[in-house]
Amino acid sequence: MEDGKKWASSILGNNYDEVFFQGVESATRKAELGMARRLYAVYSENNMGFGEGRVIHTIRLLESCPVQSLVILEEPETSLHEFAQYEFTKYLMDVSFRRGHQVIFSTHSSAMIRALPPEGRKMLARDRDGVKVYDRLSSIHLRNTLTEGNDGHLIVCVEDTFCSIFLGR
């Protein structure tokens, strides 16, 4: 899983020497356990953080499922730090283009929303009349909607030096 090593390293910000899967079985079932080798240690997903294990399994799934698959992910940002969320979104776009997949995911992550181009963003809002679809919203608009404006930041854009100096006072 050479591509898996490359992508896991990029997404998680770790330099993996190897990412692989090892068969395990009991009397009633067989499965495969995600494994990683880095910093002179080999460890299984039992000793990984949840986000690390989930990323490794998702990479394997997306790289090995049939070309042009439809993949739906619910909140893939779970247990990932913001850098990994952003990089994972870039990976999802890359694998979609390379393998022809259609990847749909729901998220509350500002980092994942920022990583998407405007044409890749849709917001669904349910009201009494049904569900409305909003296309191509800015990442700032989506973040403000998701946080109801309570994210503790104010963003002001100005066009000239005078306004910049004025606002700085």
Q: What is the pLDDT of residues 13-65, one digit of tens each?
A: 999 999 999 999 999 999 999 999 999 999 999 999 999 999 999 999 999 99
Mean residue pLDDT across the chain: 90
pLDDT the model gives residue 103:
97
Q: What is the pLDDT of residues 112-128, one digit of tens each?
A: 999 999 999 988 888 99
Q: pLDDT tier at 169 (50, 70, 90 boundaries)?
A: low
Go through the chain and tell me how many residues it has: 169
- Give dist(CA 165, CA 159) in Å, integer: 11
Phi, psi (degrees; rounded to nearest 5) at 85: -60, -45
- Lowest mean per-residue pLDDT among 2-11, 42-51, 147-156: 147-156
Backbone angles phi, psi at 152, to 5 degrees: 80, 10
At 97 the three-state DSSP class reads helix
Residue 153: pLDDT band (50, 70, 90) is low
pLDDT at 142: 75
pLDDT (0 to 100) of residue 11:
97
Nearest Cα neighbor of 56 from 26, 12, 122, 119 is: 12
Give CA–CA dist 18/8, Å, rounded: 10
**DSSP β-bridge partners for residue 134:** 123
